[in-house]
C-alpha cells in the first residue's frame, strides 16, 4: 500500500510554499511521525511529519515551489523494515554516529539531519538529550539548548565556503517569507503616512528592580525577568492612556481596538516574524516572559503557526539585542504604531543640576499620521518613558 505525502493546509491565505529542505533521502525507511521535510511559506516555516512508516520516494526537489494539496512524496507501507540498522561503533565518542534517541513513548526515532549535524559538530549524543518534539522526539532546538550547557569541542572542523571560487556575485531565489516581508514593508510605506518621534529613557529603576528580585523570580517561575515584560506592560498602559494609537484604518473607517494583544518582533532563522502575546493587560510579568521565550524557541525550531502571528494591535521591536543605537521602525500594517527599543549605553545626563552617568536607551515610536496626531504620538511615548523610569506605576496603572 502506498500513501501520498501531500502539502498540508496551513491557513486560508497560504496557497503555496517552497520545500526548504528534505530531512530524509530517496529510498530511506521512515517512521510514522518522523520529520521528513521543511516547508517554507510567505508567513511561516513548518515541519512535515510522516503519517505512516515505510520506504519513501521523493517527487519534488529542495527549492521547488509546491501548491497546497500537491503530492511531494510517496511512502510504500508494504516495504519491509531494513534489518541491522544499528550504527557501527566508532573509536571515540566524538567520531561515533548519533544513535536513535528514545522518545517519551519508549519508541526510538532516527535523528533528523539537523540533529545529526549538531551531534557531529558538538559530540553531544541525542540519546542523552530530553526531547520536546512530537512523542518526545529530539529536535534541533533541544540540541542547541544542550549545546549551550555542554563544553565546547576541542577542535572545530573548518567550514568550506559556499561561494564558488572566483565568482564575484551569486544569485539565489527570494524565499516566500523574504518576498512577503519586502511586500509588506513597501506597502506600509506607500499606504501609510509614517512618522517617527524619539525619546530616551533612564533604565536605572528597571535594572535595579531586576537585580533585586531576579533570584527570587527565577526560583519561583523558572525563567529570568527580562526587559520585554516591562516594556510590554508600559505599552499597554500607554495604549490605555492614548487610545488613538490602539486603532487602525480599514476601508475608510476607523476601527478602535479595546484589547491589548502585543506583537513582539523576533529574528528567526528564515527572517523576521512577529508573534502576538495575547491579553497583555491581564497577563503577569512571568506569563509575558514565558510566552516570549516560547515564541522564540518555536521560531527557532520552525514551529510558529498562523494563529501565532495574527491579531496584534501594536508591535515592539528590540534592535538593541543586535547593538542598534537608533532606528526608525516601520509599522506592521494594519497597526498604527510600533515601538523601537535600542541598546543600553552608559551616558552622562543632567540629574537635579548634576551630571551623572546613567544607563540610557533611545526609544523610537513610529506611527500612522493619518490616524495618530503628533501630540498623541509624543504623549504615548512619554507615558512609556514614565512607566519605565518609575516601574511602580505599572502596578497601579498610572
Catalytic residues: 369, 373
Residue with grid cell 502571528, as numbered in its chain: 309
DSSP, collapsed to helix, strand or coil, labels residue 148 as helix
State how far the Cα of 112 lies from the Cα of 101, in Å rounded to an integer: 10
State how far the Cα of 163 lies from the Cα of 13, in Å rounded to an integer: 35
DSSP, collapsed to helix, strand or coil, labels residue 340 as strand
State how far the Cα of 151 lies from the Cα of 154, in Å rounded to an integer: 9
Q: What residues pair up with 377 in beta bridges, in sequence order?
A: none
DSSP, collapsed to helix, strand or coil, labels residue 304 as coil
Asked if residue 334 has a cis previous peptide bond (ω within 30° of 0), the answer is yes
State how far the Cα of 232 lies from the Cα of 6, in Å rounded to an integer: 40
Burial of residue 106 (CB within 10 Å: 0-12, 13-18, 19+) is exposed
Residue-wise burial string across 205-217, b where 16 or more C-beta atoms lie within 10 A, e elsewhere: bbeeebeeeeeeb
Residue-wise burial string across 335-355, b where 16 or more C-beta atoms lie within 10 A, e elsewhere: bbbbbbbbbbeeeeeeeeeee
Helix (H) or strand (E) holding 204, with range, is helix 204-221
* Sign of the CA dihedral running 266, 306, 332, 375: negative
DSSP state letter for 321: G
181's torsion region: left (phi>0), alpha (psi -120 to 50) or beta?
alpha
Helix (H) or strand (E) holding 376, with range, is helix 374-389
Q: Greatest CA span in the chain, whole angstroms?
A: 83
* Sign of the CA dihedral running 373, 376, 379, 383: negative
Amino acid at each position: 500500500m502506498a500513501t501520498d505525502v501531500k502539502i498540508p493546509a496551513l491557513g486560508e491565505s497560504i496557497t503555496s510554499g517552497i520545500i526548504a529542505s528534505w530531512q530524509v533521502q530517496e529510498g530511506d525507511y521512515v517512521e510514522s511521525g518522523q520529520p521528513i521535510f521543511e516547508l517554507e511559506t510567505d508567513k511561516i516555516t513548518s515541519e512535515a511529519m510522516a503519517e505512516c512508516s515505510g520506504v519513501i520516494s521523493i517527487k519534488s526537489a529542495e527549492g521547488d515551489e509546491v501548491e497546497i494539496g500537491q503530492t511531494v512524496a510517496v511512502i510504500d507501507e508494504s516495504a519491509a523494515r531494513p534489518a541491522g540498522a544499528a550504527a557501527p561503533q566508532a573509536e571515540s565518542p566524538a567520531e561515533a554516529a548519533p544513535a536513535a534517541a528514545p522518545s517519551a513513548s519508549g519508541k526510538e526515532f532516527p535523528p533528523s539531519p539537523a540533529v545529526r549535524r549538531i551531534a557531529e559538530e558538538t559530540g553531544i549524543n541525542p540519546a542523552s538529550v530530553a526531547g520536546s518534539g512530537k512523542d518526545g522526539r529530539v529536535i534541533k532546538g533541544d540540541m542547541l539548548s544542550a549545546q549551550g550547557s555542554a563544553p565546547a569541542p576541542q577542535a572545530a572542523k573548518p567550514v568550506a565556503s559556499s561561494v564558488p571560487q572566483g565568482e564575484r556575485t551569486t544569485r539565489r531565489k527570494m524565499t516566500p517569507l523574504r518576498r512577503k516581508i519586502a511586500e509588506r514593508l513597501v506597502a506600509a510605506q506607500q499606504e501609510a503616512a509614517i512618522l517617527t518621534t524619539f525619546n530616551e529613557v533612564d533604565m536605572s529603576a528597571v535594572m535595579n528592580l531586576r537585580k533585586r528580585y531576579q533570584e527570587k523570580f527565577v526560583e519561583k517561575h523558572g525563567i529570568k525577568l527580562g526587559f520585554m515584560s516591562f516594556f510590554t506592560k508600559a505599552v499597554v498602559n500607554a495604549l490605555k492612556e492614548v487610545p488613538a494609537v490602539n486603532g487602525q484604518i480599514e476601508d475608510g473607517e476607523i476601527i478602535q481596538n479595546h484589547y491589548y494583544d502585543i506583537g513582539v518582533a523576533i529574528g528567526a532563522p528564515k527572517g523576521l516574524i512577529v508573534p502576538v502575546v495575547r491579553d497583555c493587560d491581564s497577563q503577569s510579568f512571568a506569563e509575558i516572559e514565558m510566552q516570549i521565550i516560547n515564541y522564540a524557541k518555536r521560531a527557532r525550531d520552525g514551529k510558529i503557526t498562523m494563529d501565532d502571528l495574527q491579531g496584534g494591535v501594536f508591535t515592539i521591536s528590540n534592535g538593541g539585542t543586535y547593538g542598534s543605537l537608533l532606528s526608525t521602525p516601520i509599522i506592521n500594517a494594519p497597526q498604527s504604531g510600533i515601538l523601537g527599543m535600542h541598546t543600553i549605553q552608559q551616558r552622562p545626563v543632567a540629574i537635579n543640576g548634576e551630571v551623572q552617568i546613567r544607563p540610557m536607551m533611545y526609544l523610537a515610536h513610529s506611527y500612522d499620521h493619518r490616524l495618530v496626531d503628533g501630540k498623541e504620538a509624543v504623549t504615548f511615548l512619554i507615558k512609556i518613558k514614565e512607566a519605565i523610569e518609575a516601574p511602580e506605576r505599572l502596578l497601579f496603572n498610572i
